[in-house]
C-alpha cells in the first residue's frame, strides 16, 4: 500500500470511486443501456418485418402482373375471336342478301318474261283475229260470199306465216 500512497492513491477514495463507478454503471445499464438495446432490437425487428413485407408485396405484385397479363391476353384473344366471328357473320349475311337479291332478280325476270310471253300470245291471238277478220272481209268482197270455218283457218294460218316471216327478216 505504500506504493499506492507514493503515487497519491488513497485506498478509501479508490474504493469510493470504484463503488461510484459500479453504481453509475448499474444505473446506466439499468436505465439507459437496456432501453437503448431494446429500442435498437425493436427497430431491427421492424426493419426485418418491413423487408419481409416488402418481399411479400413484391411477390404479390409479380403474381398480379402475371394475372393481369394473362387476363389481357385472354381478353385480346376473345376480342379477336369475336371480331373473326363478326366478320364471318357479316360475310354470311352479305352472301345471303346477295343470294336473296339474285333470287328476287331472277323471279322478277321470270315474271317479266312470262308477262312478255303472255302479251306476245295475246297480241298473236289479236293479230290472228284481225287477220281473220280482214281475210274474211276481203274474200267476202271478192267472192261475194262468206267463207267456211276450214277456209278461214287455212287462210289465217298462211297469213300468219307470211307476217311472221316478214317480221323476223
pLDDT digits (tens, 9 = 90+) for 42-60: 999 999 999 999 999 999 9
**CB-CB contact of 128 with 160 (8 Å):** yes
- The span from the CA of 90 to the CA of 11, in Å, is 112
Q: Which three cell numbers stand for residue 18?
A: 470504484
- Residue 169's pLDDT is 65
In terms of residue numbers, what domain contains 43?
A: 2-168
- The span from the CA of 87 to the CA of 85, in Å, is 5
Instruction: For the chain, state the CA radius of gyration.
Output: 63
- Residue 130's pLDDT is 81
Q: Which residue has the higher pLDDT, 64 or 166?
A: 64
Segment 102-147, tens digit of pLDDT: 999 999 999 999 999 999 888 888 877 787 777 777 767 776 556 6
Q: Which residues, in sequence order, are CB contacts of 140 under 8 Å at separation 6+? A: 146, 147
- The lowest-confidence range among 17-31, 47-61, 140-154 is 140-154
Q: How many domains does the chain have?
A: 1
Q: For cell 432490437, name the residue.
A: 41
pLDDT grade, residue 83 (50/70/90)? very high
For helices 149-168 and 34-143, give the axis angle rounded to 10 degrees.
130
Q: For cell 393481369, name the residue.
A: 68
- The span from the CA of 37 to the CA of 2, in Å, is 43
- Residue 160's pLDDT is 77
Long-range contacts of 96-100 (CB under 8 A, 24+ apart): none
Segment 156-165, tens digit of pLDDT: 788 778 777 7
Amino acid at each position: 500500500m505504500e506504493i499506492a500512497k507514493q503515487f497519491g492513491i488513497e485506498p478509501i477514495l479508490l474504493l469510493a470511486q470504484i463503488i461510484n463507478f459500479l453504481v453509475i454503471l448499474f444505473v446506466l445499464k439499468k436505465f439507459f443501456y437496456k432501453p437503448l438495446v431494446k429500442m435498437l432490437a425493436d427497430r431491427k425487428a421492424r426493419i426485418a418485418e418491413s423487408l419481409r413485407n416488402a418481399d411479400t408485396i413484391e411477390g404479390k405484385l409479380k403474381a398480379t402482373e402475371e394475372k393481369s397479363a394473362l387476363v389481357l391476353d385472354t381478353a385480346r384473344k376473345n376480342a379477336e375471336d369475336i371480331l373473326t366471328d363478326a366478320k364471318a357473320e357479316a360475310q354470311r349475311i352479305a352472301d345471303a342478301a346477295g343470294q336473296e337479291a339474285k333470287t328476287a332478280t331472277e323471279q322478277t325476270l321470270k315474271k317479266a318474261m312470262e308477262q312478255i310471253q303472255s302479251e306476245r300470245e295475246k297480241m298473236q291471238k289479236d293479230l290472228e283475229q284481225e287477220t281473220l277478220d280482214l281475210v274474211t272481209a276481203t274474200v267476202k268482197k271478192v267472192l261475194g260470199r262468206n267463207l267456211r270455218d276450214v277456209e278461214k283457218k287455212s287462210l289465217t294460218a298462211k297469213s300468219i306465216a307470211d307476217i311472221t316471216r316478214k317480221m323476223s327478216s
